[in-house]
Amino acid sequence: MNPRTRALSVLTGVVLIFAPAQSQAQVIFDPFTGPKIDPNTWHGFEDAGDTGTSNTETARSIQNGQLQMSLTSYGTTASNSGQAGFASTRLRLNNPGGLSVLVVQATVTQATAQACAANTSPSEARVRLLGAFFNDGSSTGPNDRTGDVLAEVQMILDSKAGPIFDLTALRCADSQCASTNLIGSVQFVTTWVTGQKRMIVLAWDAPNNQFLGFVDFQQPNQEMHVVPYGVLSDAKPPVFDLKGPAITTAMANCTAGRTTSQMTALFDNFYAQ
């Protein structure tokens, strides 16, 4: 069995374990073998981030049979409190409807998160596997994202905490999802190092009203965490359905000079159902 076929077999097993029956009609597998990012599967997207921050380099391409994404950003000098930025480069699935499980193998090849000595808030560079999964009924129409519920598994370089994984769930608090309410967040015990490939799984477990996050699925060092969303209604689809991998940067504000956040990562064997 060649490596791509073996990977597909393993990832299919992941999906069959976690995908609810209603989502089994659609299966997406992209090994990123190129030569270009498949426009029938994906579209690219960039977010410039907060005013006053600066993004200088960003890229998405297929490199040696893997998706490579990169983003470099600089913060503001307005204060020594809080973070700014939250720029991103990402791929979004063209047809994300009904998907409840996302899987990808991610390798961080380069990362920087520069601290500010006078600021207790960290700088962060993040690999994100994220999706919008349902709306809790708060939306007033097709242009109102209020109540959309999103979840993500992240590989984060935090200037204070170092390299960490987390599982986070959020609810859009306004029509454009410019602000969010935190539903829950769990930090993994396992950490990551540059150059190490890790399998990440994000699953919506609708029957049990929770999101599941896995790192190193079906490996001896597998770690899983759960974020429940309690009594939120999950019967309606998200108003703005988005699913896929991303890189996001956030910088500590620093009057002494702009702090830097940078991430380059490789993605392989994306699977969804």
Structure token digits, residue 181: 């309410």
Residue 129: predicted pLDDT: 98
Q: Tell me which DSSP letter residue 122 carries.
A: P
Q: How confident is the model at residue 13 (pLDDT cuts 50, 70, 90)?
A: low
Q: What is the pLDDT of residues 122-167, one digit of tens each?
A: 999 999 999 999 999 999 999 999 999 999 999 999 999 999 999 9
The set of residues, in sequence order, having a beta carbon less than 8 Å from that of 168 and lying 6+ positions away, is 151, 152, 154, 182, 184, 185, 186, 227
Q: What is the CA radius of gyration of the chain?
A: 18
3-state secondary structure of 96: coil
DSSP for 187-235 reads E-S----TT-EEEEEEEEEGGGTEEEEEESTTSTT-EEEEEE-TT----
Using the predicted structure, report yes or no on whether residue 78 has a pLDDT greater than 60.
yes
Using the predicted structure, report yes or no on whether residue 206 has a pLDDT greater than 60.
yes
Count of Cβ atoms closer than 10 Å to residue 233 Cβ: 14
Average pLDDT over residues 36-61: 96
Q: How confident is the model at residue 25 (pLDDT cuts 50, 70, 90)?
A: low
Residue 94: predicted pLDDT: 98
Question: Which of 221, 211, 203, 215 has its CA nearest to residue 272?
Answer: 203
Average pLDDT over residues 18-36: 76
Q: Which segments within 38-187 are labelled E, that is strand? A: 42-47, 54-63, 66-74, 83-93, 101-113, 124-135, 148-158, 162-172, 180-187
Cβ–Cβ under 8 Å, residues 234 and 205: no
Using the predicted structure, report yes or no on whether residue 5 has a pLDDT greater than 50.
no
How many angstroms separate the Cα of 5 from the Cα of each of 10, 31, 186? 9, 10, 33
Residue where the block lists tokens 């109102």: 144
Average pLDDT over residues 92-106: 97
Count of Cβ atoms closer than 10 Å to residue 75 Cβ: 28
- What CATH code is assigned to 3-272? 2.60.120
Domain borders along the chain are: 3-272
Residue 18: predicted pLDDT: 53
Residue 190: predicted pLDDT: 98
Using the predicted structure, report yes or no on whether residue 69 has a pLDDT greater than 70.
yes
Q: What is the pLDDT of residues 221-260, one digit of tens each?
A: 999 999 999 999 999 999 999 999 999 999 999 999 999 9
- What is the percent of the chain where pLDDT is above 70? 91
Using the predicted structure, report yes or no on whether residue 182 has a pLDDT greater than 60.
yes
Query: From edge to edge, which strands make up the β-sheet containing 42-47?
Result: 42-47, 83-93, 243-252, 124-135, 148-158, 162-172, 180-187
3-state secondary structure of 18: helix
Using the predicted structure, report yes or no on whether residue 114 has a pLDDT greater than 50.
yes
